[in-house]
Every structure is written in structure tokens, then in C-alpha cells.
Amino acid sequence: MALKEISSNKCFEGFQKVFEHDSTELKCKMKFGIYLPQKAESTKCPVVYWLSGLTCTEQNFITKAAFHQAASEHGLIIVAPDTSPRGCNIDGEEESWDFGTGAGFYVNATEDIWKTNYRMYSYVVDELPHLINGNFPADPDRASIFGHSMGGHGALICALKNPGKYKTVSAFAPICNPIQCPWGQKAFSGYLGPDTGKWEAYDATQLVKNYSGPKLDILIDQGKDDQFLAAGQLLPDNFIAACTERKIPVVFRLQEGYDHSYFFITTFINDHIKHHVKYLHA
């Protein structure tokens, strides 16, 4: 599959690049950011996948999160895809910020007008890793995943639905129980239809109840002053209760004074990188 390099910038002795390719899963052109540390010039490196939140592109994380120094020091490749297909000319895809373009919710849509293109789940767990492993010095046996908000939801479900595929998972302010919140209900009814039984396959709080795989050590940071926490969109307590019931280790840190923004992510990104390193370099 041909990759077209869109940009390349030297950063902490490695390179932050953006590539474009024709996606077989999404039937459109897609971009992703990839940070290649200097270490990747001489050996295969572990890969950490980052999934962004609503309205984001591949640019938000690579320009705002300040992860490059830690990734360079620990020899990590970091991959940040876009959050949805784009330019598919589907009726309604540009109408709202929390559904359609920029809001793929990391599901495989089953409803007619969305199901051809809106297959972000398969893109993230199958197509993208295949592309990365085939074109870059990535160690396919050492991968992990993290994300923010809608992307935190994506990271959690990808890890829970694919035991052993990711060495660990972490999240910033994830949408933990989408079948119970307005964002999730809007997205899931649109992409998956009215049968709420289908929705449970993409809900971390539901998935963790049936998880049976290698031990998964989950780290979640949540800003205490996050407006979406107060609005009932994130529902971390439901996820923590389900993890506790199943004796699945989750470190949940409620961070005083922090909101939902990239200022919050930047503050704690190094802790998350260290969390991933612990398992990727084990």
C-alpha cells in the first residue's frame, strides 16, 4: 500500500512525520502522524498508538501533547491516526461536531449509509498496524494503546476486545460507558442502529465485565474540573466499579483543577509514557 509523505520535522533527534494513504477499510484517503525516534534508525522499536477525541485530526496530538522528548528517550514509535473517514459525501456527515466527520467513535458502523466508510475500529486494530509494521522499523510484538476522551474510549475497547494484542492501555478522560451518556447514545444509534445489545460490543464498562485475557494494567487520568465529567459524558465510576468487580487493576487519578484540554494531557503525558514503557520494555 503506497504511503505519501506529507511532512517531516526533526524533533529530539528523531522525526515527526505525517503520511497519507488510501484506506481499504474506510474507502478514502487517510492521514496519520508517526514519530520515529533516532533509535529506529538502527533497531526495531515498540509502537504506541494514540487515539484522539471528538473534532480532532492527526495534528492535535503531534502538535500539542509534548510527548516527543519522552518518546525519544525511551525509543518509542508513536502513531496518531485521524478520528474518522473524511470527504465521503455521506448525507449528514458534516452536520454536527459529535457525529460523522471527526467523530468516528472507533466502531464499525452497521447502519446502511455509514457502514461502507465508518469502520474506524477495524482501521485501528487491523489496517493501521499492518501498514505500520510493513513500512517502518516497528516491533509487531510490542504494541500498546492510549487516547483521550472519545479516543480514550477507543483505546480501552481496542485493548479489551483484543486480549494480548496490546501490552498495556491508558487513557485521559475517557468516555467510559458510552451506552449511558448522550455522546455515546447519539453516535451508537446513528452508526449501529436502535438495538442497544449491539452497542455493548463497543462499551468499555460492558466489555470489562467479560474480559478474560492476559493481565491488563490500566491507567486513567481524569481532570476534576472537566466540564464533560460534570455533564455525565465520561462516567468513570461505572468503569472502575466494573473493573473492581472483575479484579482488573485500574489506577484512576482524579487530578485537582484540571479540565478536558491538551493542557491537562501535556501535564501528565510523561507518566503515561512511563506506564507504557514498563510493559513494552519488560
SS (H, E, C) the chain: CCCEEEEEEEECCEEEEEEEEECCCCCCEEEEEEEECHHHHCCCEEEEEEECCCCCCCHHHHHHCCCHHHHHHHCCEEEEECCCCCCCCCCCCCCECCEECCECCCCECCCHHHHCCCEHHHHHHHHHHHHHHHHCCEEEEEEEEEEECHHHHHHHHHHHHCCCCCCCEEEECCCCCHHHCHHHHHHHHHHHCCCHHHHHHHCHHHHHCCCCCCCCCEEEEEECCCHHHHCCCCCHHHHHHHHHHCCCCEEEEEECCCCCCHHHHHHHHHHHHHHHHHHHCC
Q: Tell whether the torsion through CA atoms of 21, 27, 30 and 34 is positive or negative.
A: negative
Is 275 designated active site?
no
Catalytic residue among 74, 226, 272, 275: 226
Catalytic residue among 74, 148, 153, 260: 260
Catalytic residue among 23, 144, 149, 170: 149
Is 52 designated active site?
no
Is 149 designated active site?
yes
The residues that are catalytic are 149, 226, 260
